[in-house]
A and B are shown apart, each in its own frame.
Chain A
Amino acid sequence: MTLLAFTGARIVDPASGHDGPGVLVVREGLIEGIAEAVPAGAEVIDCAGAVLAPGLVDMRVGLREPGEEHKESLAGLAAAAAAGGVTTLMALPDTDPPLDEPALVQFVARRAAAFGSVTVLPCAAATRGCAGRELAEMGLLKEAGAVAFGDGRQAIADARTMRLALAYARGFGAMIVQHPEEPSLAAGGAMNEGELATRLGLPGIPAAAEALMVARDVRLAQLTGGHVHFAHVSTAEALDLIRRAKAEGVRVSCDTAPPYFDLNETAVGEWRTYAKLSPPLRTEADRQAVVAALADGTIDAIASDHQPQDTDAKRLPFTQAEPGGAGLETLLAVTLGLVHGGALTLKAALALLTVRPASLLGIEAGRLAPGQPADLVLFDPDRAWQVREEALVGARNTPFDGRPVQGRVLGTWKAGRRVFG
């Protein structure tokens, strides 16, 4: 029998509201509770004043296995998640082959579980082949372990298909995760449309491409009663639409990713392809609107939108380079920037990384509830470090390369077993 006692930590559990000292007791890999003293016979883990919180729940992570293991294998993903304090993640279905078959959904979850450091919950394809035409077998996919449906980095572009997907998924109590970007308006674009794109001679993607898709899907959610979740929202316009839809009681939720509240389009600099993301980095006004929407609750979760690419896909002229940034290992530190900057309390920031995404996915993770697996992250919220691509254990295509940050993961536990630090 193993008995662990985490002492000397500031324990923050946004789900229960606990924020303070205490001894977190873990028995046989399960949380027993927060005690005042170390129980007899427990192995003591001295947290030395650091913050102990539920392991992070990252609701948007791009998978490259199967199909593109050279960009990041599941082993690499598991290591990156552990280094980032992420113990549960939702994986996107746009692998090769895509996750549109129950067997593939089971395969990915089981193979990832073998590493023992992270629970991988697949978001299965909403349409066969993520091609946006025929519905995938959502019922069977859900039985196989899918927690949501979407087409990954592709928008479900056809309005009728989206209507059917929202309606059908409602029958299984599942949400549709949309990449909110009108593809015909974004086609060929490489960065945010505006003065900087014009100066660099790059084709732009207007903010309207995001707002159009959000406006349409809000209307389709109303029509069907389905739940639409907008991923990585990046513009003030789209956030205003979502805020209004929520006020009207439409079943809509959304997340954003650290690049959209920490960086703006100027990070592209002179064709820095690591800053080429989808959606593109936006204006400073958009960035501020994302921060405001995190503070006022319009945004339900912060997800890494981890999208591994290798150097062959990035060391190209900007328009030809693949979009996407690695995000797992910088998720917590960059988010803590909002706390250090005064935009969010520590508890609110952690809620966006734990219990709020867990609630959207309908899972029990992301809280320090007695009887739950002891998925934990221990971090020093103040320790400063500099993001360096060569120091990352997973994919290295970080848009934050060189960025000084504050807040360092010291240890990660999965079901009571230390998997990092």
Chain B
Amino acid sequence: MSQTGFGQTVGRRRHLLGIAGLDPGQIRAALDLAETYISLNRKGGPRDVLRGRTLVNLFFENSTRTRTSFELAGKRLGADIVNMSNSGSSVAKGETLIDTAMTLNAMHVDVLVVRHDQSGAAALLAQKLDAAVINAGDGTHEHPTQALLDALTIRRHKGTLENLTVAICGDVLHSRVARSNILLLATMGSRVRVIAPPTLIPAGLGALGVEVFTDMERGLEGADIVMMLRLQKERMARAFVPSAREYFRFYGLDARKLARAKPDALVMHPGPMNRGVEIDSAVADDLQRSVIQEQVEMGVAVRMAVLDLLTRETRGNA
């Protein structure tokens, strides 16, 4: 992977396939650019940056939130947007990912935003595609724009991404959001803690530079940031945890547990929330602590910045 420019080079293009491989300078540059897009975004955006460019949102998993965020980001930069989802498409009829890539190549797409339930799917597409690929979540691997928007939100509140203590709580085993956030925060010089029942902690996690806690109250002690992860219902069916009520009792964020963190600790969640499973409504809706709504707004700005950065070379103003 090249260290010049933004993202990862695969083939002749630059892509954003993950946080892994980004250096602090690249991350800082993306956040700085996103910062400038926050106000532009509020005013409606500079509609000339991606004028005449085609952005395809290819979502093999349902995600209204992320897809809408990319769609808005693209529209505010003036791109032509096509949304493709798997239901009813040729993908559902057994077309392989490689076939899909070939079809998209023939359509001269500039940017492909892809969400897929298989780890490595975005990288596989990047190998075959002439377009810039943005990973909008691949299996349990990475979700880089989520980590960037989380970082932007944190930086706006704390003024820095260095030397913070960040507690990431919940289903880390199945979470691409956790992987991207761990990589980003460790790269930027923060201390990352992971809090989860042992059945939801992936093997070898310590080697990623995190401290692992199974006791939530101890893990939250003195934290600057508390990031909650969604616990999907099917995880209970596969017996990773016995019940929602037991999970909430020991790993759900409520006011009592949150009191262990710093008084000005931020509460974050990538959404959609399972209230009463991983987070108590009183905490989620506490505007003094929760920045969950702000995360959504930052998402659009960050995605505008990523779209801008990844298309600079082909637009000829790198």
List residues of chain A with CB under 8 Å of any chain B CB.
193-204, 206, 270-271, 312, 315-320
Contact = CB atoms under 8 A, between A and B. Distances in A.
A117 to B, nearest CB: 35
B120 A197 contact: no
Nearest to A192: B203
Given A201-B119, A201-B142, 14 more contacts: A195-B204, A195-B207, A197-B203, A197-B204, A198-B203, A198-B208, A200-B119, A200-B120, A202-B139, A271-B119, A271-B123, A315-B96, A317-B97, A319-B139
A317 B203 contact: no
A201 B97 CA distance: 18
5 contacts: A197-B202, A200-B119, A201-B179, A271-B123, A319-B118
Nearest to B128: A315
B207 A317 contact: no
Interface string B18-34: 00100000000000000
The listed residue with most A CB atoms (<10 A of its CB), out of B119, B120, B202, B205, is B120
Nearest to A271: B120
Interface string B139-166: 1111000000000000000000000000
User: Which secondary structure characterizes the binding site on chain B?
Assistant: mixed
B191 interface: no
User: Which secondary structure characterizes the binding site on chain A?
Assistant: loop
Contact of A316 (B96, B123, B204): B96
Nearest to A201: B141
B138 interface: yes
Contact of B118 (A204, A315, A317): A317
Given A271-B124, A316-B96, A317-B139, A198 B118 contact: no
The listed residue with most B CB atoms (<10 A of its CB), out of A200, A206, A316, is A200
Given A199-B208, A201-B138, A315-B96, A194 B121 contact: no
Contact of B120 (A198, A203, A270): A270
Task: Give the bracket for the number of chain B residues in contact with chain A.
Answer: 20 to 34
Nearest to A197: B203
A286 to B, nearest CB: 14
B141 A195 contact: no
A200 B208 CA distance: 12
Nearest to A196: B204
Contacts of B205: 195, 198
Contacts of B20: 199
Contacts, number: 70
A37 to B, nearest CB: 60
B236 interface: no
A317 B124 contact: yes
Interface string B104-138: 00000000000010111101100000000000001
A84 B126 CA distance: 35
B208 A195 contact: yes
A108 to B, nearest CB: 31
Nearest to B202: A198
Task: Across the A-B interface, give the 8 residue pairs with the lowest CB-CB distance, nearest first.
Answer: A201-B141, A195-B204, A317-B118, A271-B120, A201-B119, A201-B140, A198-B202, A195-B207
Interface string B198-217: 00001111011000000000
The listed residue with most A CB atoms (<10 A of its CB), out of B138, B142, B176, B204, is B204
A223 to B, nearest CB: 31
B98 interface: yes
Nearest to A194: B204
Contacts of A316: 96-97, 124
The listed residue with most A CB atoms (<10 A of its CB), out of B20, B123, B203, is B203
Contacts of A315: 96, 98
Contacts of B207: 195
Nearest to A202: B119
A201 B176 contact: yes
Contacts of B124: 271, 316-317
Contacts of B97: 316-317
A317 B204 contact: no
Nearest to A317: B118
Contacts of B208: 195, 198-199
A203 B208 CA distance: 17
B139 A201 contact: yes
Nearest to B180: A201
Given A201-B139, A201-B142, A312-B96, A318 B204 contact: no
A372 B189 CA distance: 70
A318 to B, nearest CB: 5
A57 B141 CA distance: 42
A193 B120 contact: no
Contacts of A197: 202-204
Contacts of B176: 201
Contacts of A320: 118
B140 to A, nearest CB: 4
B177 to A, nearest CB: 11
Contact of A204 (B120, B179, B203): B203
Contact of B119 (A194, A206, A317): A317
A196 B205 CA distance: 9
Nearest to A203: B140
A206 B142 CA distance: 22
Nearest to B98: A315
Nearest to A318: B120
B138 A198 contact: no
A227 B202 CA distance: 37
